[in-house]
Structure 1
Amino acid sequence: MDVFGHDLTRRQLAERTGDLSAVAGIRHVVLDDGVERGVRAIDLRTSAGLELEVLVDRAFDLGSARITGIPVGWRSGNGFRHPGLHEHTDEGGLSWLRALDGLLVSGGLDHTLFGGEVDATRYAYPPKQTVSHGLHGRLTAIPARLLEAREVVDPESGPSVLRLVGEVIQATSFGEHLRLTRTIEVDVDGREIRLHDVVDNLGFEPTPHMFLYHINVGWPIVDEGTEFVAAISRHLWQSDSVAEQGISYRTLPAPVLNMVEQVTEHELVVGPDGLHRVALLRADGALGVEVSWDPAGMPSFFEWQNLRSGQYAVGLEPSTHHVGGDGAAREDGSMIWLEHGQSREYRTTIRVLVGQAETDGARERIRALGGQPD
């Protein structure tokens, strides 16, 4: 392990400190003020300077993230609201926007994208002929059950990994009964976050499944001149605001007063390793974020630009479905239906890049796959 510039084995590190928490570790906390009061969280800290907050009571999503004290994950101003304050169907189904905060906010498990009413007769409960969905579904406001939180040491090679495992159940009588099992790993001396999600159907009716990651990056990685880098074969869809405002999806401006969000669905080129890759790179090359994931699970991808003054973020959004959402997926046959015991698997890596060599390396990896439209 590289610990503060020293190449040490796990034994050598143990000889130098009686507690791993001197250099890295896992700490259980409970947030205790304002709208966050009562939210259980776990702080992960590595010797490379990565600090990551895992929100146990908010679907095991990722809250604040920093590298050597510098923010990586976006903070919206909403705070990590206690799930008991969430109003799923309020504001015309847009109340999810009051829960949008942090590095990762997950959408699902039976619905993502914009809401509406869809058929629910498959659940054989006559009073419920339809089910109403809000933006990005119910998952965000469901507390997880913590299954594991520990350091794992490879007995052969010796590298140490900080591992968290949580389970989120989305269920109702006469409706869906889905389970998300999420594993989060970071190397003790690392700067990358590895997510492994498995969603399975515990119920006995065929159940729709949609899933989306809202990976939110803020200032100072998002800044004037920051470059969005991706190998893009074409744009599948753009919000009307793209043409109306003309703000580049490739090179970011300074904060824009009253900007309307811009969303583009990009068709990405798959790399030789079978993965999709995108990156946000500061103009000075000092910092960046690279996200890679298996498109077998999430073939679609959206870039969300919320560059409005006072908010100022970019969302990188791998998704199981195109922008049309639930209704369109049912009509065109792309909806994922899980039978009892069936599951879907998702693997994603969020890598924090530090310094010109690492940001240039990410650009070169992605550019080797292809270019991107102006």
Structure 2
Amino acid sequence: MVELYGKALSRRDIAARAGAFSQFAGVRLMRLEDGVERGIRMLEFRSGTGLRFTVLIDRAFDIADCEYRGMAVGWNSPAGFKHPGLAEYEGEGGLAWLRSFSGLMVTCGLDHILFMNDEPGDTYVYGPRKTISHSLHGRIATIPGKLCGYGEEWRGDDCILWCEGVVTQGTVFGEHLELTRRIEIKAGTNDIRLTDRVVNRGFYKTPHMYCYHINVGHPVLAENSRYLAPLKDVVWAAHAGDDYRKQGVGYRTMPMPQMNFHEQVWQHEMAADSNGEVPVALVNDELGIGFEVVTCKDQFPCMYEWQNLQAGQYALGIEPSTNHVLGHTAARERGELIWLEHGDERRYESTFRILTDHAAIAATEKRIRALSGQPDEEFPQPSGNHIPIGGRG
């Protein structure tokens, strides 16, 4: 059954009330036609609850806009949803990735995440390529995808809105990795389900690193918004080596937009539930709205919190990752880098959920606190304990 306007309706009930289901919910193919976004194909999802989000086909099927009943959830940066033909991945010493960085979710990978890095290129058996140079967060986010399909799929009286596509990151004498992404939401709900499969289609042994840069904006992010997580340990904080409290912003309670704020990044060690799932949320108690991300601990063993609280760029990032924040070289040295041979694959299943009222926020907080207590102290001392990630030798 589809829950619409407080009633559970069968497919027949819905058909009797309108000539097309698109009156209530659906998926629509569109194209952006102005400014730096001109030419990008986009899918618009409407679930029938007031939830609307867009998927950028030509930006790795990442999620761009997201709003619920007129309230923004996702983050729009000054860079805009720039056409991939304008991307400057190699520029500014590897930081030009930031000039295409915007949206609720930006995928990082497929062979590299985190800061710039040079690694040995010997696995690709090509003399002139002695090293592989990586810019910030990898190449995948600005690669156009191939749209395999989208639309409505009725399963009895349930309607699933979906899209699926393939994004290829490949080069001669180098990696050939393929991302297949499927996004689904059941009509009448607020749970966006993301299923990714990364496969090595090439015949070179290839590294794989993966991260979702999930960016929540105002008004979910606001003064006194709270970060909720089953946090067992604060492992690392980028700013802890200086004056830890210098900016007056801890990990748990968010301030209003700040002037001259320097980004803060934390790594937290999370507890998982009996299904191996890790829920993390940002909630605004005043407005009664929140955003929750649920990932699988065995797929994403690490979790970062990104605070970009600068005025004009105000965002909070929830970042599940395959690797510690220590970076690519450390992952290699610690034996924690994933290596894919031809045909090897990794799968990732995640849920993005809108918390629509105080009751939903309370239920999520209760579930999270049952997994692990969360430090009330805004500045818990980082432990430096990056737990070894096994099974990757």
TM range (shorter): over 0.9
Q: 2:239 — aligned with what?
A: 240
CA shift, 1:362, in A, is 0.8
Q: Is the 8 A contact 1:289 1:352 kept in 2?
A: yes
For 2:105 and 2:41, locate their aligned partners in 1 and report how far apart those are by CA, in whole Å. 16
SS at match of 1:128: coil
For 1:145 and 1:205, locate their aligned partners in 2 and report how far apart those are by CA, in whole Å. 24
CA shift, 1:69, in A, is 1.5
Q: 1:212 — aligned with what?
A: 211
Map 1:109-128; keep pairs closer than 5 Å.
109-128=110-129
Q: 1:368 — aligned with what?
A: 370
Q: 1:165 — aligned with what?
A: 164
SS at match of 1:114: coil
For 1:42 and 1:71, locate their aligned partners in 2 and report how far apart those are by CA, in whole Å. 18
For 2:253 and 2:42, locate their aligned partners in 1 and report how far apart those are by CA, in whole Å. 35
CA shift, 1:203, in A, is 0.5
Q: Is the 8 A contact 1:285 1:360 kept in 2?
A: no
Return the letter of the residue paired with 1:110.
D
Q: 2:351 — aligned with what?
A: 349
Return the letter of the residue paired with 2:349.
R
Q: 1:198 — aligned with what?
A: 197
SS at match of 1:42: strand
Q: 1:316 — aligned with what?
A: 318
CA shift, 1:243, in A, is 4.2
Q: Is the 8 A contact 1:25 1:45 kept in 2?
A: yes
For 1:213 and 1:331, locate their aligned partners in 2 and report how far apart those are by CA, in whole Å. 23
CA shift, 1:262, in A, is 0.5
Map 1:234-273; keep pairs closer than 5 Å.
234-240=233-239, 242-273=244-275
**CA-to-partner distance for each residue in 1:1-37, whole Å, 9 max, x for gaps?**
1112222101110121121110001111110101000
Q: 2:386 — aligned with what?
A: none
Q: 2:385 — aligned with what?
A: none
Q: Is the 8 A contact 2:52 2:67 kept in 1?
A: yes
Q: Is the 8 A contact 1:89 1:95 kept in 2?
A: yes
Q: 1:103 — aligned with what?
A: 104
CA shift, 1:246, in A, is 3.4
CA shift, 1:162, in A, is 0.2
Higher alpha-carbon deviation: 14-23 or 168-177: 14-23
CA shift, 1:136, in A, is 0.3
SS at match of 1:368: helix
Return the letter of the residue paired with 2:8.
D
For 1:76 and 1:285, locate their aligned partners in 2 and report how far apart those are by CA, in whole Å. 23
CA shift, 1:82, in A, is 0.4
Q: 2:55 — aligned with what?
A: 54
For 1:203 and 1:212, locate their aligned partners in 2 and report how far apart those are by CA, in whole Å. 22
For 2:123 and 2:345, locate their aligned partners in 1 and report how far apart those are by CA, in whole Å. 19
For 1:248 and 1:10, locate their aligned partners in 2 and report how far apart those are by CA, in whole Å. 49
Q: 2:72 — aligned with what?
A: 71
For 1:299 and 1:135, locate their aligned partners in 2 and report how far apart those are by CA, in whole Å. 21
Q: 2:177 — aligned with what?
A: 178
CA shift, 1:273, in A, is 2.2
Q: 2:133 — aligned with what?
A: 132
**CA-to-partner distance for each residue in 1:332-353, whole Å, 9 max, x for gaps?**
1000000100100001101001
**CA-to-partner distance for each residue in 1:31-67, whole Å, 9 max, x for gaps?**
0101000111000011101101000000100000010
For 2:115 and 2:295, locate their aligned partners in 1 and report how far apart those are by CA, in whole Å. 23
CA shift, 1:285, in A, is 5.5
SS at match of 2:368: helix
Q: Is the 8 A contact 1:113 1:323 kept in 2?
A: yes
For 1:228 and 1:54, locate their aligned partners in 2 and report how far apart those are by CA, in whole Å. 26
**CA-to-partner distance for each residue in 1:209-251, whole Å, 9 max, x for gaps?**
0000000000000000000011111111111265432311100
Q: Is the 8 A contact 2:285 2:358 kept in 1?
A: no
Q: 1:188 — aligned with what?
A: 187
Higher alpha-carbon deviation: 239-248 or 48-57: 239-248
Return the letter of the residue paired with 1:4.
Y
SS at match of 1:14: helix
Higher alpha-carbon deviation: 64-73 or 242-251: 242-251
What is the percentage of aligned positions where both structures have the same residue?
A: 46
For 2:162 and 2:73, locate their aligned partners in 1 and report how far apart those are by CA, in whole Å. 20
Name stretches of at least 5 consecutive residues in structure 1 with no aligned partner: none
